[in-house]
Structure 1
Amino acid sequence: MGLATMIIISLQTPAALADSIQTPEMTVVPAGWFWQGSDAIERDYAYRIDEQIYGQDVAHRNRWYDSEITKWRIYLPQFEISTTPVTNAQYAAFVKDAGYPAPGVTKEIWDTYGLVHGFEATRPFTWKKGLPPSGRENHPVVLVSWQDAVAYTHWLSEKTGDSWRLPNEAEWEKAVRGPDGTFYPWGNIYDPTLLNSADRGPFDTMPVKSFPAGPYGLFDGAGQVFEWTMTQQQPGARIVKGGSWDDRGCGVCRPAARHSRPEHLRHILIGFRVLRVSSQDK
């Protein structure tokens, strides 16, 4: 081995490898106070827009939004969070390098979930030979469980030398919503032109950054895909946030909205974004 080769190898520190593994683009959320959760006024608005769209009060009767955190002001230190949900291309680097199973689910497992979507709905999102479906490289990755998302963060930590994890619910909500407690990233009035939801279509994931950014510069925090968080609702279940391309209304697309899903679930509506832990938080 020549000296030049040895020098090149010696320079391949974890940090130097970051670009080669498609490290997610990051956004800094500054330290400070923000309004988390919802009050009766916001929840009533969510129920009313859902009823207007669906022509029934099923959301209100089932008290979908009553479990939201009561609105309060909370301080968070500065943190970095990925600007978009993790994409198929970014996740593919993990699958290739780590030999990790590609996103997918069998019909037998899917049928045990008891979801409204039939197994055929998963086919457009299923990877083949370790590669994402053609043309979807810049779409959010889906069909990943909470454990899969955590495995990706562990891999990023190993490859970059930084510490990575999923955001907790408060971090996710501040990053998407901003400090002022608005119902949506853009304000208090629902606007279906500002997100990927079933109000306008295409009834599918879309390339990230297809809609305007939120208060801190994050994209796709409302609609597009639900996102896993670190926050545990109950043993074996984690909070997901953000709503999806399959939702109308869109009360569930508000950053304050929350519900849990089993950690093992691989769903066509759920992806994730990541947080890089600062040195003082390690």
Structure 2
Amino acid sequence: MVVIPAGSFDMGSPDSENSRNDDEGPVHRVKLTAFALGKTEVTRGQFSAFVRRSKYITGDKCVTLNGSRFEEQSGRNWRDIGFLQTTEHPASCVSWNDAKAYANWLTHKTGKPYRLSSEAEWEYAARGNSASARYWGDNPDEACGFANVADFTAQTKVPGASFWLLHQCTDGFAYSAPVGSFKPNAFGLYDMLGNVTEWTEDSYHDSYQNAPLDGSAWQGNTSGRVLRGGSWNSSPNLVRAARRCVNRPDERFSFVGFRVARILP
């Protein structure tokens, strides 16, 4: 875990940012208290230990590659997502519900208050005090030193990737990479962009109008939950600190995982 210092930042993207979406605004100032965040995404080995010790049962369907298309497939889960993984790869094919169960188990196991980060905490931590679109700068083609993204490696090794919008660089990984394989951001966090898209606590709202200004999670009546960060199959427009995605809390994808936050005493 890395202690993220208290501070404030402008959340969202300005109108001038390339590929921005309307749900990334209005830009608003958020002030946060200090919290701790996982240095890396939760690994397959860590998630396996949780399942084994808690007897937790996940679902047996996941959206994974079927040939050159992403489709929901029965029999696919975090144990078998359709490509080779080690215990050091990020856990994927895990739902928001699964991630919450892991955080609750970790709280019970350690006696420390673990949870998913709020969307504001996630963006603040991902930016690492940078106001640029990505924590390494605004140029998406510099991604490959910092993030596992859709790139020339995927183009040559992943079925259908020749039709993807690619970063013009080579990161060396066709699918997900072991956590910590790339340079960290200024806070010392790895893979905040790329590798796997990460669940956050928040319900999805299509605008930041009336969003909390204290960094807390924004709950609502919608069932969709916010995901952040982009993944190994993400094009440049998706790999930005302000980019937001939404899925149902029971859905699982081979390119979605999570990291945990912890409340500080």
Q: How far, CA to CA, are the matches of 1:149 and 1:91 in structure 2?
A: 9
* Aligned-residue offset at 1:198: 1.2
1:225 to 191, 196, 205: 196
Does 2:244 correspond to 1:258?
yes
How far apart, CA to CA, are the structure 1 residues paired with 2:228 and 2:85?
Answer: 26
Which one scores higher on RCO, CA 8 angstroms, separation ≥ 6? 2
SS of residue matched to 2:102: helix
Distance 1:119 1:66 in 2: 28
What amino acid sits opposite 2:8 in the alignment? W
Match of residue 140 from structure 1? 90
Count residues with an aligned counterpart.
224
What TM-score does the superposition give when structure 2 sets the normalisation length? 0.78
Identity, in percent, stands at 35
Note the 1:22-37 alignment, pairs <5 A: 26-37=1-12
1:83 is aligned with what amino acid? K
The counterpart of 2:103, out of the listed 134, 153, 157, is: 153
Contact residue 42 and residue 257 of structure 2 kept, 8 A? yes
Q: Which residue of 1 aligns with 2:184?
A: 213
Report if the CA contact (8 A) 1:69-1:256 is conserved.
no
Gap change, CA 1:89 and 1:180, over 3 Å in 2? same
Residues 101/133 of structure 1: CA separation in 2 closer, same or farther (3 Å cut): farther
SS of 2:31's equivalent in the other structure is strand
Q: List alignment gaps of at least 5 residues for structure 2.
A: 155-172, 205-220
Match of 1:83 in 2: 39
Distance 1:89 1:133 in 2: 16
Q: Deviations over 1:63-111 (max 9, x none)?
A: xx12113222221111100011100011111011101125x633xx759
2:19 aligns with one of 46, 62, 65: 46
Deviations 1:31-83 (A, max 9, x none): 111221101111xx236xxxxxxxxxxxxxxxxx1211322222111110001
Is the CA contact (8 Å cut-off) linking 2:60 and 2:74 kept in structure 1? no
1:217-267 Cα offsets, whole Å, 9 max, x none, are: 10001111110000101522100000111112x111101000210000011
Q: Does 1:237 align with 2:230?
A: no
- Call closer, same or farther: CA 1:157–1:175 in 2, change over 3 Å: same
Distance verdict in 2 for CA 1:135–1:39, change over 3 Å? closer
- The Cα of 1:122 is off from its aligned counterpart by 8.1
Could you tell me which amino acid in structure 1 is paired with residue 198 of structure 2?
E
C-alpha distance in structure 1 between counterparts of 2:112 and 2:143, whole Å: 37
Larger radius of gyration: 1
- In structure 1, what residue type is equivalent to 2:183? P
Q: Report if the CA contact (8 A) 2:63-2:254 is conserved.
A: no
Greater helix proportion: 1
Tell me which amino acid in the other structure corresponds to 1:173. Answer: E
Large movers: runs of 4+ above 4 Å: 119-123, 132-135
Given that 2:63 and 2:73 are in contact with CA atoms closer than 8 Å, whether structure 1 keeps it comes out as no
Partner of 2:262: 276
The Cα of 1:127 is off from its aligned counterpart by 1.4
- Name the CA shift for 1:207/1:222 in 2 (closer, same or farther; >3 Å): same
* SS of structure 1 residue aligned to 2:10: strand
CA shift for structure 1 position 213: 0.2
Q: What's the counterpart of residue 105 of structure 1?
A: 60
State whether residues 140 and 271 of structure 1, in contact with CA within 8 Å, keep that contact through their aligned partners in structure 2.
Answer: yes
The amino acid of 1:167's aligned partner reads: S
> 2:170 matched to which residue of 1?
none
Structure 1 residues 121, 188: closer, same or farther in 2, change over 3 A?
A: farther
RMSD of aligned residue pairs (Cα, Å): 2.5
Per the TM alignment, residue 208 of structure 1 is displaced from its structure 2 partner at its CA by 0.6
Amino acid at match of 2:136: W
CA distance in 2, matches of 1:143, 1:71: 32
